[in-house]
Amino acid sequence: SGPASSPAKEYSRPGLAAGGLTTPTSRQPVTLHAAAMRAFTEASSVIARFAQQVCESDAPEWLAMRAGVVASLVDDMSAEHVGRHLRDEVVGMMLAASETTSTTLGWVWMLLLLHPRWHDAVCDEVDEVLGGRPVTAAELPRLRVIQMVIHETLRLYPAIWQTPRTAVCETRLGGFLIPAQSLVMISPYVVQRHEGYWADPDSFEPERFRDPAMVDHPAYVPFLTGRHSCVGKQFSLLLISTIIATVVQRARITLTDSSFRPVIESLATIRMREPMPVRCDPRSVEGGR
């Protein structure tokens, strides 16, 4: 609601289009996807116009957002860099938790269906905590099993499996010299499955996150960390938790092919190469599972 709702809604579709267009074309030479690239360019220009409007708007919600972003920047950043960073943050907020959230939800259901004990635990928790009521933000912290499942899913299948960082100055990491302006690739997927940091790293064990402090484990970085961590982190976790709780209340999802095992396709995000065969049946708290 509010003054920004119409523009935000108007520009949300191009935002999703731009996000979706970046992935399938990455496997083939750009020249083979001229139409897709034209669509991407058009969607990107729409997003850029919206970001500029947000940066110049006097609407209270956008003023508050801009103040928060500017406050997080270093003091000696030039006005030009502040403006560019602000536009980048707006674009990030538009695209955050769209494809990455849907991809993560796919992995959540896959893991729950392959591990029925945890699927039942999620259903029982939702019934006990919510009792048929719609989930609210205030009740999400009480859904501890769901939180554990989400974090373990993100550990095994971080939506963004690798990301680049540019060294702003010459430094050394692990004995290696990193020249200034070098591109360094960071892979949460590799770090989060490293046996030096995790016991039985390839196993689905949500119990790892029973202690909430485990989300601060230095080798758990699905959203990266520090000042440049993912701007959509909290929104994504809120959205995933809400969707899981809501779906569990309304439907019983079952795997229709017990031999199904996912094949990872690693493009911009980690996704399943083939659709997961499932069946959805209505469910109610009164009727049980």
**Domains of the chain (ranges, CATH numbers):** 5-95 (no CATH), 99-282 (1.10.630.10)
Let me know: does 140 contact 252? Beta carbons within 8 Å.
Answer: no
Encode pLDDT of 214-224 as tens digits: 999 999 999 99
pLDDT of residue 11: 44
Counts of helices then strands in the chain (DSSP H, E) = 9, 8
pTM, full prediction:
0.74
Let me know: does 21 contact 40? Beta carbons within 8 Å.
Answer: yes
CA distance 80 to 39: 29
Closest C-alpha among 177, 214, 174 to residue 192: 214
Element (H, E) at 18: helix 5-22
pLDDT of residue 269: 84
Exposed, middle or buried, 217 (CB in 10 Å: 0-12/13-18/19+)?
Answer: middle
pLDDT of residue 71: 60
Low-confidence ranges of the chain (pLDDT < 70): 1-33, 61-62, 65-83, 85-87, 89-97, 285-289
pLDDT of residue 16: 43
Cβ neighbours of residue 78 closer than 8 Å, sequence gap 6 or more = none
Closest C-alpha among 209, 196, 270, 268 to residue 20: 268
pLDDT of residue 233: 86
